[in-house]
Structure 1
């Protein structure tokens, strides 16, 4: 009932749709790896801007060079990271704050329903203890140190098959990249073409099949009542195969 051209068109459209979907998936997978942790130093501020004007104390101790740091980490991949992924236990994720840590003043996790990690300070090192961090979750550590100005450094990152990158972390979900948008529009465009073209082609194919049936009916009539016209207009009869069935009414 359907011609080879019809099936070739359908197969081509489906294959194009599949290739577009695969291209979109590949683009997103490359731009957003499955296992990726980001970290960044958001703040590194001197609390004594004018010598002798302010005294900062922790308990009974006076701090000579107090600084306020903020370290931001995020599971930026597409997979959750579980406790077992921290392959070196409490020493799997360590940040060097550059000066002795006085205290960790705040640990804030986003979304708020997620688990905040425990931590341990060892001189200038902040050990982030293993914890379950869901995809998209971020954690901020606000830290008080006492010492000279130094940039925070990532000392150790031993997380199973996970990239750890130092890059700014926005407080909102970043927009799609140009490559992701282009791939998505390619898939949507192919879907739109498929939705519009296939019904049209199906309608034309069905009409063509009905026209062929009508022509066969006319030829059958002319074979009996007007053989000369049937000879001039109708196709030359051929031997049907055993599976061929042409309905006549």
Structure 2
């Protein structure tokens, strides 16, 4: 048996192989964790969830009107603009690169007033705002990670699709949300849990594979990965076989010598 074959079948080989596999998995997890902490994801989402008319039936024959400061509104509507800091870090006042003009939304019809501003959680800071025609400006200030801000806005005009006019947050993209903010369905857990579960599954599969490989290996390899008691039994059997082979050769040699002396 060569030195290479002896090493492949040794406990040191399997320990080294398994240790290397574990080191690779742990190393990749460490790199991922470092990048996760050092470069936190930054995202700011928005959506116009509600945009409904306050006067639903103009031909009902009932004289109903909506007015503010004595001025009637021709097509009053109530819209809700929802914002969310979806990143893993807070947005600070200094992140608003254009001051109070950094974040703005165009509702496309005149804004009469902001009837209410709600934040989630309720202990989070409430940002200021101002109105300029159809544009709602969000003033600079602290917006906590995962904080949600809801503006109820009174409009006067036909239903129009709102748009983001200014998006000037440092290293934080502002995007319209593809789903309803605050009502996100479960999608399999957080990235951290997924990563830990994937690493654990990889280790389990690797362990099973190594065990299967050991079961299919030659006898001298199998012996090295089985319990010591079994290995000892195999060694004893090998020794007995060697003794029997030696005894057989001695007997054969004695017969040859006896036959020679008889002739």
Q: Do they superpose with TM above 0.5? A: yes
Give how far 1:79 is off. Answer: 1.4
Query: Given that residues 96 and 140 in structure 2 are in contact (C-alpha distance below 8 angstroms), is that contact kept between their aligned partners in structure 1?
Result: yes
2:213 aligned partner? none
Matched position secondary structure for 2:152: strand
Greater helix share, structure number: 2
Give how far 1:141 is off. Answer: 0.3
Give how far 1:45 is off. Answer: 0.9
Distance 1:45 1:172, change over 3 A: closer
Provide Cα deviations, 1:153-209, integer angstroms capped at 9, x if missing partner: 111110001111111333245424589576443123245579999xxxxxx99x86x
1:9 to 11, 18, 36: 18
Distance 1:24 1:83, change over 3 A: closer
1:13-24 → structure 2 map (5 Å cutoff):
13-19=22-28
Alignment of 1:189 with 2:193, yes or no, is: no
Distance 1:195 1:80, change over 3 A: farther
Distance 1:21 1:174, change over 3 A: farther
Matched position secondary structure for 2:89: coil
Corresponding residue pairs, total: 206
Query: Given that residues 117 and 129 in structure 1 are in contact (C-alpha distance below 8 angstroms), is that contact kept between their aligned partners in structure 2?
Result: yes
Instruction: Give 4+ residue runs of structure 1 displaced > 6 Å after superposition.
Output: 23-26, 193-197
1:37-116 → structure 2 map (5 Å cutoff):
37-51=44-58, 53-116=63-126
Distance 1:113 1:11, change over 3 A: same
1:169 aligned partner? 180
Deviates more, 1:8-17 or 1:155-164: 8-17
Give the alignment's Cα RMSD to 1 decimal: 3.8
